[in-house]
Amino acid sequence: MSSRSACYYVGAANGRAVAKPLAIGRMMPRLVFCLCLLASGRSGADNKALPLTLHYFGTAGLAHSGSGQAEFVRDLSQPDGVKSGQWSATVDSLAGLQANLTVNDQLEIVGQGVSRYHFGGTYLPELTWAYAKYSPRPELDLRGGRLGVDFYMRADSRLVGYSYLPVRPAVDYYGGLPYQYIDGLDGTVKLPMGKGILRAKLFGGYSPEKIPPAWDVSGALVLGGNLGYQWDSWQLRFSYTQIQHARDLARIQELLAALRGIPRPETQAAADALTVQDTISRHYSLGMTYDKGPWQVELMVSGAVHETASLQDNFAGYLLAGYRVGAVTPYAGLSWSQAATNTIGRTKIPLLDAAVAKAIGASHSNQHTFMLGLRWDFYRGMDAKIQWDTVLGSPDSVFLVRGEQPGWNGQTDVLSATLDFAY
């Protein structure tokens, strides 16, 4: 069975629109679980099956890194990763449960919870989806609640290992975008056009998440949309998302206080340039997939532009190709992430200038990764994968790793093996 078989997990949305989290985003998780419990109770009472379906998915994985100077992580939501001499199950292992309650032909309630290694260094389960979907017409879907983000194509199915070809989504491309969900609203319109289907989506909401080390992105306003076209075995999509940050990064708060405490134009200008709160980050992406016969090909490119100097503008992408031979699919890929080095005026105080340079450099990436792997769909709803990655970067490429030490040269090899399931 190919990776497209798990398409029912692929949802989407992102957003925000005011200055306080939407009430529906707070209430929807409780509503979803109350309805699920009510449905379960009614089913037991009258012994009749209700339209409540449960889906399970997960990944058991091991990863080994060749570098002892930095820790390899799946994305920036993980506080630490794997380094030389270790085998780690924390990078890729996770488990999820999804419940779909069909109220009627127009209304569906969906809830999803995932246990994975994330902020705080725990596997504490997260409520990743909790929304109501209303479809007043076949071509229109409206959703409200907690929604998986799809800033980039396929981003909202990143946690379902069975739904994609490699061991993990390309770290150079998806790793720097750790947002997994928002609380908000979205609307999707599907219209026939030519030989295919045109899809347009708008979304808005607030992020409730935290990103290590101590980067609290909760309260960030997220707005955006995407436009896609699907015909035959091809899919194309353009996406735009903007994030209005509600807080400064924890790693620069002491530096900002020091700069603002010195009444000089140079230090005040540096503080203004580094401030993240109330600034906007804009993300653009273009994606293409082809899946027909033995071939499966994906090409994605994206750009990020930030108003703050604390986050460097970035260009990233990946190319992945696989060829099915029965139940086995060998694949190869190339991904990259390149940041533009930010510069701001000097404070003329050497210690502060060094601290400013370090703060700016913390978001720098300059690397590319070659991947080679094999996927074996050995049973319905299950696969086994083995993958080798070689990361080639510069010594100052530190954004996509954790715990970099003196001597880090930006390069490492990672060997991974996973077992995925989805039912």
- pTM recorded for the entire structure: 0.85
Which amino acid, 302?
S
Would you say residue 57 has pLDDT above 50? yes
pLDDT, tens only, 176-231: 887 889 999 999 999 999 999 999 999 999 999 877 665 677 889 999 999 999 99
| Nearest one of 96, 95, 68 to 82, comparing CA atoms | 68
pLDDT, tens only, 325-349: 999 999 999 999 999 988 898 999 9
> What confidence category does residue 93 fall into, taking pLDDT thresholds of 50, 70 and 90?
very high
Helix crossing, 265-274 with 253-260: angle to 10°?
150
Domains present along the chain, CATH in parentheses: 3-422 (2.40.160.10)
Would you say residue 151 has pLDDT above 90? no
Tokens of 11: 């949802």
Q: What is the three-class DSSP state of 239?
A: strand
Cα–Cα distance for residue pair 386/79, rounded to 1 Å: 24
Position 215 scores a pLDDT of 67
Position 396 scores a pLDDT of 95
Position 22 scores a pLDDT of 37
Query: Please, which residues have CB within 8 angstroms of residue 172's CB and are 6 or more apart in sequence?
Result: 316, 317, 318, 335, 336, 337, 365, 367, 368, 369, 400
Which amino acid, 393?
G
pLDDT, tens only, 13-24: 333 333 333 343
CB 349 within 8 A of CB 255: no
CB 155 within 8 A of CB 149: yes
Residues counted in the chain? 423
For residue 1, count other CB atoms closer than 10 A to its CB.
Answer: 15
Tokens of 339: 């940041």
HSE at residue 224, side-chain half, CA atoms within 13 A, is 27
H or E element in which residue 222 lies? strand 221-231
CB 396 within 8 A of CB 365: no
Q: For all residues of the chain together, what is the average pLDDT?
A: 88
